[in-house]
Amino acid sequence: MHLRFTSPGEHEPGTVFSLLKQAWAPLWNSVLEEKIRQFDREVTEHAATVGACTFITCLDEKPVGMASYDPRQKPEIGIIGWNCVVPRHQRRGIGKRQIQEIIRIFRENGIRKACVTTTDEDFFVPAQRTYESCGFAAARRTEDTNIEYELELV
């Protein structure tokens, strides 16, 4: 399986939106749509910041997933953001490879701890398993059913 992590600028505008829309289809609603549209806009309009911290994963040159991160609290913390794999290509190890790529980038930048938040709902069980499989442990549960995962990198 040949995976390549590419810059959003190499793809048509809206590619990030389309990937996220496919992966989030079971939960789709107008609020989620606006959030994802907003993120997609930021990736394009702020190519040197948000866009540079977002990659589109290509399998045999075709976009199949994406992942993003926020390094602004470095070196203490790096936060993993939007990430997904389109349903057709899930459960092939791609989601895990994306998170491992972000962990690699964090280490390269001297970041000491990786953090990611997901939700304690059935839809997010694959995300929970993916983070656990990459070594993350649940550090906190919040009242709004979020689970905050952490991974020490040093």
Ligand X SMILES: CC(C)(COP(=O)(O)OP(=O)(O)OC[C@H]1O[C@@H](n2cnc3c(N)ncnc32)[C@H](O)[C@@H]1OP(=O)(O)O)[C@@H](O)C(=O)NCCC(=O)NCCS
Binding string, 102-141, against ligand X, x = CB under 6 A?
A: ----------------x-----xxxx-xx--x--------
Residue closer to ligand X by CB (options 110, 129) is 129
Look up residue 101 and give its amino acid.
E
What is the torsional sign of CA 10, 96, 64, 42? negative
Residue closer to ligand X by CB (options 32, 152) is 32
**Cβ neighbours of 31 (radius 10 Å):** 8
Whole-number Å distance between alpha carbons of 99 and 133: 10
Whole-number Å distance between alpha carbons of 137 and 114: 11
Residue closer to ligand X by CB (options 122, 154) is 122
DSSP 8-state symbol, 96: H
Residues in 77-106 at the binding interface with ligand X, rule: CB under 6 A: 83-85, 90-96
Residues of this chain that interact with ligand X (CB under 6 A) are 23-24, 83-85, 90-96, 118, 124-127, 129-130, 133
